[in-house]
Structure 1
Amino acid sequence: MTATRATALFDRLASVYDEVLPFFAGFAQQHMAWLAPAPGTRVLDVGAGRGALTAAALARGCRVTAVDCAPGMVERLAAQYPQVREARVMDVHQLDFPDGSFDLVCAGFVVHLLDDPAAAAREIRRVLAPGGVFSFSVPGDVENAPEWEFYGALFREFQPLIPDGQGRLSRPLDAERLLTAAGFTGIGEHAVEQRLPVADADTFWDWGLSHGSRAYFDALPADALHEFEARVRAELSTMAPIVFAAGARLWRATSPGCHLGFAQGGPAGAAE
């Protein structure tokens, strides 16, 4: 899927994104707890969406700037978090900020969706101050949740029915190689997961239509989509209660230079 189509999709989803289940908000809180930036840290949230990481950083007293490619996301983020220093529509591949503007650049479930992650990583390094941190999350595995293996298996089973260039937005990503090639050092990773109570099958299906997976569902032929939904609902009918298990991997790396901590003169944040 091209950047233009991705922007159109997320703009269309802005009103429901992270509204059905607190999926991104939950992971953002874990992500920011792991980074532990000091109050006053200059944070740039790229691909900010509705502001999951923005909210978590603001709660720690950070000075946050948020950017996203989708105007609808930016409009809603700015309205919900007026304390944000700046919220702008912007392409992460071409950030309109001077060199060394931020102490921390973070991205929640964004990097693996980009057309050119390598170019974005270089641009992020440019806007980081020496010793600043780039950190992002990507989908990950979850332990001890065999009841949810069916969901990923269904996506793989139906994938051949999706026309080339459509469907899911994500691309394979070698995070360590990406960071190394962009000149970052001190690379570290951390696995997290969450268990989200789901009221009923309708809620879970609505959640699947409220974020990036919507591209996959929209690309399925109508009869295949109906079968996919029916099989999801059949599996969920065996769960009482329904508790969605999801995992993520968090990555962080440092821009070369004298490390002054996230906030100049403040504590160094989460050390590896």
Structure 2
Amino acid sequence: MTTVTAMTAFDHAERRIWSGKAEAYAHTYARLCAHPVEDLLDAAEAGPGSRVLDVGCGSGTVSATAVTRGATVYAADAEPGMAEATRLAVPGIAAAHIARLPELPYADDTFDAAVGNFVLNHVGRPREALTELRRITRPGGRVAITIWRSPGAPGQTLIGRAAQAACLTRPDWLPALATEDDFPRTPEGLTALLGSAGLLDPECSEVTWEHRCDPDTWWAGAERGIGAIGQVLNSGGAEGLAAARQAYDDDFPVVHGVWIMSFEQEWSELKAAAGMRLNQVGGTGGTGGSGPKGAADYVIADDDLGDIGHTAFNLFNGLEQTGKHAKTASETAGAGLKGDGFDTGAAFTDVIGTWEKQVKTLLQACAHISNHLDYTKKSSKADDEWIEAQLRIVGPVAPGADGAVPASQISKYFR
């Protein structure tokens, strides 16, 4: 059995955050977290006859899917309401226990596979948690987990921006993960953490998906106190919550039922993400975090540029065909919806037109890169601001949107 470990301040805060939140989670963010479940269970090789532990089971999505695969499933969650929700939601489950990482009530080598869907984001000592999962998994078995990467997708920053606009801050009782326990939320960072926990030949890959929900549903989970962002959002009481909601509504207008992120917002977030990745590049091509702060400069050789040019050529050839393949069916669907009186028909038609313009611009860029990629140089702030102004696209269905850079002008932007 496991050794008893003292809870960290982070663990205590997590227990407070999630206490009594099972129902709120099930009706809000559970659907978001369900997207990678099949990939998670594939990685664990969960199938007929396998004995699987779903740790941090939440509302039971992973457990239910594993049961349909023919696995014998045990579930565990530190929040009693979550364990009970899973027990009720999954009739075929073997047992659902109240237990927390890194102290699980199972003997060594009990399971063929242990899976945790985003649970690692909610433990104070991630390495010890993984070591515990290794302990209860038999030799030759599998441990499979998911985490949210950082920086996150644009949609994951919506409520945080609203809270910031309303001057809401993190409560004093809500600590961040201790520096010595934290790790880079990237495939490389997670791979290293898995290896340090004694797991053999760890592999990580990124899974992407498209999640759709209305603005009220996206807001509701945090409003009801789910996660750290929920605590920040509620830290200012009713007045602060109302101010954040106003900022949230102002941030992303709805046009024809489509939720739009402005160019400025997406551009700034993409720049921040790209800047972080470049500053993490190691080796002679950059400081990789080991040199002076802000000194990272991505340098590549002629052979690398040739590879990029070749890739651009291949992308052009493929995109020219695939970028248009759904046009006829989409136009028919849009016309049909519009003819039947649905507002979404008009929006669908607008989106099709914008998509064609975007594909055209990308094709022009690929062609130019393929033909003229001879050298690269360090970007400056002035360059960035100028490119931003020239390439501005005001949302996919906004009136007056240009949507594509003219072919006669494209050479100015790719040198």
**Does TM-score exceed 0.5, indicating one fold?**
yes
Q: Mapping of 1:185-224 within 5 angstroms? A: 185-199=200-214, 201-209=215-223, 211-212=226-227, 213-220=229-236, 223-224=239-240
State the distance in 1 between where 2:167 and 2:118 align.
Answer: 21
Tell me which residue corresponds to 2:412. Answer: none
Maintained 8 Å contact 1:44/1:102: yes
Q: 1:158 to 1:187 in 2, by over 3 A?
A: farther
Q: 1:150 to 1:198 in 2, by over 3 A?
A: closer
State the distance in 2 between where 1:113 and 1:152 align.
Answer: 18
State the 1:134 CA deviation.
Answer: 1.1
The one-letter code of the counterpart of 2:59 is R
1:20 maps to 2:28: yes
State the distance in 1 between where 2:141 and 2:12 align.
Answer: 30
Point out where structure 1 has 5 or more consecutive residues left out of the alignment: 245-272
Q: Deviations over 1:34-61 (max 9, x none)?
A: 5442311111111111112112211211
State the 1:67 CA deviation.
Answer: 0.3
Maintained 8 Å contact 2:124/2:177: no
Q: What value does the CA root-mean-square deviation take over the aligned residues?
A: 3.1
Q: Structure 1 or 2: larger helix share?
A: 2
State the 1:13 CA deviation.
Answer: 0.9
Q: Mapping of 1:226-245 within 5 angstroms? A: 226-238=242-254, 240-242=257-259
- Number of aligned residue pairs: give it: 242
Q: Name whichever of 110-119 and 227-236 sits farther off.
A: 227-236
State the 1:90 CA deviation.
Answer: 0.6
Q: Deviations over 1:79-130 (max 9, x none)?
A: 1112111101012211111110011111111112201112211111111100
Q: 1:184 to 1:155 in 2, by over 3 A?
A: farther
Maintained 8 Å contact 2:52/2:113: yes
Q: 1:159 to 1:65 in 2, by over 3 A?
A: farther
Q: Structure 1 or 2: larger strand share?
A: 1
Q: Name whichever of 19-28 and 128-137 sits farther off.
A: 19-28
1:162 maps to 2:170: yes
State the 1:206 CA deviation.
Answer: 0.7
The correspondence for 2:198, drawn from 176, 183, 192, is: 183
The one-letter code of the counterpart of 1:241 is V
State the distance in 2 between where 1:94 and 1:43 align.
Answer: 17
Q: 1:184 to 1:73 in 2, by over 3 A?
A: same
Tell me which residue corresponds to 1:105. Answer: 114
Tell me which residue corresponds to 1:10. Answer: 18
State the distance in 1 between where 2:260 and 2:20 align.
Answer: 27
State the 1:190 CA deviation.
Answer: 1.6
State the 1:151 CA deviation.
Answer: 5.0
The one-letter code of the counterpart of 2:22 is A
Q: Mapping of 1:1-272 within 5 angstroms? A: 2-20=10-28, 22-140=31-149, 150-151=158-159, 153-154=161-162, 161-166=169-174, 172-174=182-184, 175-199=190-214, 201-209=215-223, 211-212=226-227, 213-220=229-236, 223-238=239-254, 240-242=257-259
Structure 1 or 2, whichever has the larger Rg, is 2
The one-letter code of the counterpart of 1:203 is T
State the distance in 1 between where 2:67 and 2:205 align.
Answer: 22
State the distance in 1 between where 2:176 and 2:169 align.
Answer: 12
State the distance in 2 between where 1:150 and 1:202 align.
Answer: 12
Q: Percent identity?
A: 24
Maintained 8 Å contact 1:167/1:218: no
Maintained 8 Å contact 1:18/1:25: no
Q: Name whichever of 84-93 and 162-171 sits farther off.
A: 162-171
The one-letter code of the counterpart of 2:16 is A
TM, length-normalised to structure 2: 0.52
Q: Name whichever of 80-89 and 15-24 sits farther off.
A: 15-24
TM, length-normalised to structure 1: 0.76
Tell me which residue corresponds to 1:263. Answer: none
State the distance in 1 between where 2:116 and 2:165 align.
Answer: 30
State the distance in 2 between where 1:8 and 1:147 align.
Answer: 26
State the 1:233 CA deviation.
Answer: 1.5
Maintained 8 Å contact 2:109/2:139: yes
The one-letter code of the counterpart of 1:179 is L
State the 1:160 CA deviation.
Answer: 7.6
The one-letter code of the counterpart of 1:127 is I
